[in-house]
Structures are given as C-alpha cells and as structure tokens.
Amino acid sequence: MHQTCSPLVDELMFQIEQFVPDSIELDAARNLTRLCSDVMSCFGKTNCLEAQRNKETYTQKCQKLDFKNYGMHKCMPYFYKMAYNQENSCASKYDFFTNDLKTKRIAFTSGKQCLLEIVSVKCSKKTMAYLNDYYDNFVNILTTPPNNTRCTSAYDGLTSIQCMPILKKTSEIFTTTEDYSALNGLSAVKLCESARDCMKNSCVYSLKTVQNMDSACINFRKATFQQCYYSILTSTEDYSKYKCVKDIIAKNKTAKFTDDKACMKSVMTGECSNVSAEGFDAEWDNRSNFGQPL
C-alpha cells in the first residue's frame, strides 16, 4: 500500500518545496490541499497499521500546511482577541473559549457567521477562502485531539492561541498596582483561574508553568479576600442595607455581623467584586492566618 501511495507523497513533497507559505497564491494553496486530500485518502483505503500511521502523519502535516498557506496562524490570534474583548457584539452569544470539545464544536458550528464577520475585517482573502471552503474541516481540527502526544499539531497550536488574550488580561492584573476590579464580567481571581485552566488544557505550556500559575491564582485569591475582609472589618460604613446585618443587630445591638460567616459572605461578595462565593469557605476558615491587614 505504501508503494501505491508513494507517487502522491512524492508529488506533494515536491509541490510543497515550490512555495513559501506567506507568499503562496490561492490557487496553489488549493492545489496543495487537494493533493493532501488524495494522499490521506490513499492511505485510508487500508486498515493496516503502517497505512493508518502514515495517514495520521500526513493528516497532521497537511493541517499545519493549510494553516500556514491560508494564513490561519495569523488570523486566529486576531479572532480570539476580538472575541474575548467582545469588540463584536455577536461574540458574546457563543462559547468560543470553552475547553469542553463538544461545547466548542457546537459554538463554532452555530457561530460560523459570527466568526466570519469578525475575521473579515482583518484576515486575508486566502484565509477567508479557506474558512468558506473548508469550514467543517476547520471545526474538526479545532475539536479533535491528535492520537499522538508530540504537541506539534494544528490542534495543539489552536489550543495555545485560545489562551493568548486571557493570559494578556491576567498579566495586566498581576502588573497593576491599582485595586483589582472586575474585567469582562469576571473577577480578577476568576480570570486568573480561567487562564490557568486554559494553559492546563494546552500541551504547549509545561507542567511547571501551569503549577506556577496555579500557585499565583491561589495567592491572588487569598490576597483579594484578605484585602476585602480587612476593608470591611475596619470600615465605619453602615452595612445595614444587607438584610443579614439588620437581622443580627435587631437581635443583639452589641453583636458583630463580621463574626457571622453567612452574613460576611453576603456582604463581602456584595461589596468586593473580586470575592466570589466559590472558595469563600476555605478562605474564611483560614482568616486566622492572615496576619496584619494589607
């Protein structure tokens, strides 16, 4: 079977050497796509192990080749940036940043027109041609992990590109000296954890890098919780707008609502955008280790 496919493979390799991805014309890119399809089809005609391995090898090689030839490697960072910042209103309707592959397939399938609308502003004619001609194939690449673990496939590249705008926002938070505020409807802490989860889902980021981000998020959550806790503890503000505060004072005028876990949960999550109900219990139980106020 390998001998049968050899002429197609040789022709593909020869044609690849004739072009530079960034300057290849659309017709030539399409011709390479057709050649790739013929090679994969040839290897797919038999179930022998060698043929299937070759099919997988050339599938990944051709996916990466297409992404370069059609400029997808330049277009997708722009798409994710625009979608994340929701600079196009349609992006908020689709879960483009999910790590769940089934949900991602649904989002990119139903959100096809939204994606095309976003990328049409800046991405090349070749990219638009690829997305219009091979959109289903693009979604398959985006949502189908490769069988090997070499971390060199188009799928692997896309999962890392997805993280770029989230990491950029997280970096901005870590480097600012201002009080942390909500970004894109998410608290700064949740944004950090979102970046960590995205990195964890991508093989491009090392285990050590992910662990460092995880530690940073834990410390970040503790710091923001501690900051909010002491702010309320030392404040002279009247928090009677919260029902639990009024109820506690009504029962006992000398009682402190700051000693009541359930009430402080309501007050802190209401007053501080960076404190969420998620993880509150652990941080509350650990408050005796806070030390001095920040």
Mean pLDDT per 10-residue segment, the chain (294 residues): 83 93 92 96 90 92 95 95 85 94 97 96 96 96 87 93 92 63 52 90 92 83 78 86 93 89 91 74 72 44
Q: Is 282 inside any structural domain? A: yes
The Cα 173–Cα 179 span in angstroms is 9
The Cα 272–Cα 264 span in angstroms is 11
Q: Is 52 exposed, middle or buried (0-12, 13-18, 19+ CB in 10 A)?
A: middle
**Residue 261 and residue 146 share a domain:** no
Q: Is 68 inside any structural domain? A: yes
**Residue 82 and residue 8 share a domain:** yes
Structure tokens at 135: 């959109």
**Residue 182 and residue 128 share a domain:** no
**Residue 247 and residue 170 share a domain:** yes
- Positive or negative, the Cα torsion across 39, 40, 45, 48? positive
Of 219, 199, 218, 198, the closest CA to residue 208 belongs to 199
Q: Is 178 inside any structural domain? A: yes
The Cα 256–Cα 249 span in angstroms is 8
pTM listed for this prediction: 0.75
**Residue 273 and residue 139 share a domain:** no
**Residue 222 and residue 280 share a domain:** yes
All residues at 6 or more sequence positions from 191 whose CB lies less than 8 Å from its CB, including other chains = 166, 169, 170, 173, 183, 184
The Cα 170–Cα 188 span in angstroms is 8
**Residue 102 and residue 61 share a domain:** yes
Q: Which ranges in 86-206 belong to alpha helices (H)?
A: 101-110, 112-119, 125-143, 154-175, 188-200
The residue among 161, 194, 227 that closes a domain is 161
3-class secondary-structure state, position 92:
helix
* End-to-end C-alpha distance for the chain, whole angstroms: 70
Compute CA distances 97 → 113, 145, 153, 161, whole Å. Answer: 17, 16, 19, 11
**Residue 186 and residue 156 share a domain:** no
Q: Specify the residue for token string 């179930």.
A: 47
Q: What angle do CA 56, 57, 58 make, to 5 degrees?
A: 95
Q: Is 60 inside any structural domain? A: yes
The range of the structural domain enclosing residue 15 comes to 2-161
The residue among 134, 161, 188 that closes a domain is 161
Q: Is 232 inside any structural domain? A: yes
Q: Which helix (H) or strand (E) holds 246?
A: helix 243-251
How many other CB atoms sit within 10 Å of the CB of residue 10?
Answer: 10
- Positive or negative, the Cα torsion across 268, 274, 277, 282? negative
**Residue 94 and residue 43 share a domain:** yes
**What are the backbone dihedrals phi and psi of residue 222, each rounded to the nearest 5 degrees, phi first?**
-65, -45
pLDDT of res. 288: 60
Report the number of distinct structural domains present in the chain. 2
**What are the backbone dihedrals phi and psi of residue 125, each rounded to the nearest 5 degrees, phi first?**
-65, -35
Q: What angle do CA 161, 165, 170 make, to 5 degrees?
A: 125
